[in-house]
Amino acid sequence: ELIDKIKQLEAHNTQLKSIVQKNLQSRDETANGKAKKKHRPFDFAKCFKRHILLRFYYLGWDYQGFAAQEDSIETIEHHMFAALKKVCLIESRETSNYNRCGRTDKGVSAFHQVISLDVRSKFAPELQLDASSLTTELDYCAMLNRVLPEEIRCLAWMPMANPAYSARFDCRSRTYRYFFPRGDLNITAMEESARYLVGAHDFRNLCKMDVGNGVVSFVRSIDAISIKPSQRDSERDGSYDMMYLELRGKAFLWHQVRCIMAVLLLVGQGREEPSVVKALLDVEQNPCKPQYSMASDVPLNLYDCQFNEKSGESNGEETMGGESDLSDWIYKEEDLRRTISDLQGLWMKHSVKTTMVREMLKTLHSVLEDRFAGASPIRDQSVLLTQGVRSKEYCPLLQRQRCESLENRIEHYAKKRRIEVSVKSNDCSASGSDEPTAEHVRAGTDRNSNVDHGVSGMDN
């Protein structure tokens, strides 16, 4: 009976899979139930290809991150490739020579995301860099923007003579901005604390360690960091002013920016001394990360990317002299005007909501002052950026319960055969020269060992 029941369930499962597949195919049908006309498959064998960099922005608040996932279609990459294939610029991801500058996590946005890939061209390879060919080439941005969701827009493209040029490996720096309200934060203390972050450090206490995917080195370099005003509010106390933290570096760890921002917010609230960042960077004194909640993902934005003049420079490889691999980004005025108009529409929707909430807050602030004389003002705008439950009694970071050490995590995943570790000596100190190294690292390749996840994601 049990065997018969299992066979019944397997048959039912097969039937459900068939129904789901039919539903997916029916998405292309018109509203009145009539199927669209079947078109002949596009013959890419008759087309020329060119290698380009494609720049676009996206508002990632409602998406599951940049990278495509097996269990979700709500990713930026899924929509990008769906659009690229729909307008017949590529045949498939596998044949497109694709690389991304980096990937951002769930909820994270980007103003300057760049991908490199081979796309269809009107011109033969020997004519593709001619000025006349560039002005009359397919309008890649307009073609894609017609079929992309409104939160994702292509801004410009750049023709590349070198087909090996990679948006990922030839990116020399990435700049992130994390936007936040001033509230009652001590910005001076935050700036003092942030200065400890400049330079190369082991950031294992200021990121989420992804040892299960082979990341066992957490040394990264932050080239510059600053806190700047973004938008000033009319209120005299300035608690509704918008600020942003800006960081520039070559590569970032998983959730690195959000962890850094979480600690800086604690410093700005006066709960921690600015020197706490220095203590967290000292992995000999503090080898295990104290438990704390990250800052919200919504305000994080991959704001800018800078690229090498010649492919391979970031890897220390010798490059031949001559002209740069880079050229100017190609914008079309009509496309740019349409994109600005679309973005203004999104701004209008969100700004109207913000203004409504702001007016309600003004009224309630007045009621509080009139009815409860001497009541202290409420400036919790920035406090609410930190995720998790707030405890009534604050426990200093360095006195909190600690997470597992890096060495223990490496040993754990090595036993599970999730990673293969080669140890140079019996001393496995992760901060010394005899650090265990993973032979198979998800983000490592023969060209570079940049972390390709997290934008802390690229902090990602």
pLDDT band at 432 (very low <50, low <70, confident <90, very high): very low
Q: Best-predicted range by mean pLDDT among 331-340, 382-391, 448-457?
A: 331-340
Parallel/antiparallel/unpaired status of strands 300-307 and 109-121: parallel
Residue 391: CA atoms inside 13 Å, Cβ hemisphere, count? 8
| pLDDT score recorded for residue 322 | 63
Residue 105 designated active-site: yes
Q: How far apart are CA 170 and CA 99, in angstroms?
A: 10
| pLDDT score recorded for residue 113 | 94
| pLDDT score recorded for residue 421 | 64
Q: How far apart are CA 176 and CA 227, in angstroms?
A: 12
- Direct distance between the N- and C-terminal alpha carbons of the chain, in angstroms, rounded to an integer: 51
pLDDT band at 173 (very low <50, low <70, confident <90, very high): very high
- The predicted model gives 419-427 an average pLDDT of 52
pLDDT band at 442 (very low <50, low <70, confident <90, very high): very low
Q: How far apart are CA 428 and CA 11, in angstroms?
A: 52
Report the share of the chain in percent with pLDDT over 70. Answer: 84
Phi, psi of 229 (to 5 degrees): -75, 145
Facing residues of 69 across strands? Answer: 72
Q: How far apart are CA 303 and CA 114, in angstroms?
A: 11
Q: How far apart are CA 51 and CA 373, in angstroms?
A: 67
pLDDT band at 444 (very low <50, low <70, confident <90, very high): very low
| pLDDT score recorded for residue 86 | 93
Look at residue 240 and tell me whether its pLDDT is greater than 60. Answer: yes
| pLDDT score recorded for residue 448 | 37
Would you give the distance in Å from CA 385 to the centre of its chain? 18
Q: Locate 335 and state its tokens.
A: 């496309």
Length of the chain equals 460
Look at residue 31 and tell me whether its pLDDT is greater than 60. Answer: no
| Residue range 278-330, pLDDT digits in tens | 999 999 999 999 999 999 999 999 999 999 998 877 554 545 556 788 889 99
Q: How far apart are CA 371 and CA 339, in angstroms?
A: 48
| pLDDT score recorded for residue 180 | 94
Q: Considering 4, 71, 105, 282, which one is annotated as catalytic? A: 105
Could you give the maximum distance between any two Cα atoms of the chain, in Å? 79
pLDDT band at 237 (very low <50, low <70, confident <90, very high): confident
Q: Of 82-96, 202-216, 369-383, 429-443, which range is least confident?
A: 429-443
Q: How far apart are CA 354 and CA 361, in angstroms?
A: 10
Structural domains for the chain = 44-159 (3.30.70.580), 173-307+382-409 (3.30.70.660)
Q: How far apart are CA 179 and CA 299, in angstroms?
A: 5
Look at residue 189 and tell me whether its pLDDT is greater than 90. Answer: yes
Look at residue 115 and tell me whether its pLDDT is greater than 50. Answer: yes
Look at residue 424 and tell me whether its pLDDT is greater than 50. Answer: no
Facing residues of 154 across strands? Answer: 56
Is 57 within 8 Å of 111 (Cβ atoms)?
yes
Look at residue 217 and tell me whether its pLDDT is greater than 80. Answer: yes
| pLDDT score recorded for residue 428 | 35
pLDDT band at 45 (very low <50, low <70, confident <90, very high): confident
Model pTM greater than 0.85? no
Q: Following CA atoms 311, 175, 103, 142 in sequence, which dihedral angle do they give, to the nearest 10 degrees?
A: -80
Q: How far apart are CA 141 and CA 327, in angstroms?
A: 17
pLDDT band at 455 (very low <50, low <70, confident <90, very high): very low
3-class secondary structure per residue, the chain: CHHHHHHHHHHHHHHHHHHHHHHHHHHHCCCCCCCCCCCCCCCHHHCEEEEEEEEEEECHHHCCCCCCECCECCCHHHHHHHHHHHCCCCCCCCCCCCEECCCCCCCCEEEEEEEEEEEEECCCHHHCCCHHHHHHCCCHHHHHHCCCCCCEEEEEEEEECCCCCCCCCCEEEEEEEEEEECCCCCHHHHHHHHHHHCEEEECHHHCCCCHHHCCCCCEEEEEEEEEEEEECCCCCCCCCCEEEEEEEECCCCCCHHHHHHHHHHHHHCCCCCCCHHHHHHCCCCCCCCECCCCECCCCEEEEEEEECCCCCHHHCCCCCCCCCCCCCCECCHHHHHHHHHHHHHHHHHHHHHHHHHHHHHHHHHHHHHHHCCCCCCCCCCCHHHECCCCCCCCCCHHHCCECCCHHHHHHHHHHCCCCCEECCCCCCCCCCCCCCEECCCCCCCCCCCCCCCCCECCEC
Average pLDDT of the chain is 84
User: Residue 361, exposed/middle/buried by CB under 10 A (0-12, 13-18, 19+)?
Assistant: middle
| pLDDT score recorded for residue 313 | 72
| pLDDT score recorded for residue 451 | 38
Look at residue 71 and tell me whether its pLDDT is greater than 70. Answer: yes
Q: How far apart are CA 186 and CA 278, in angstroms?
A: 18
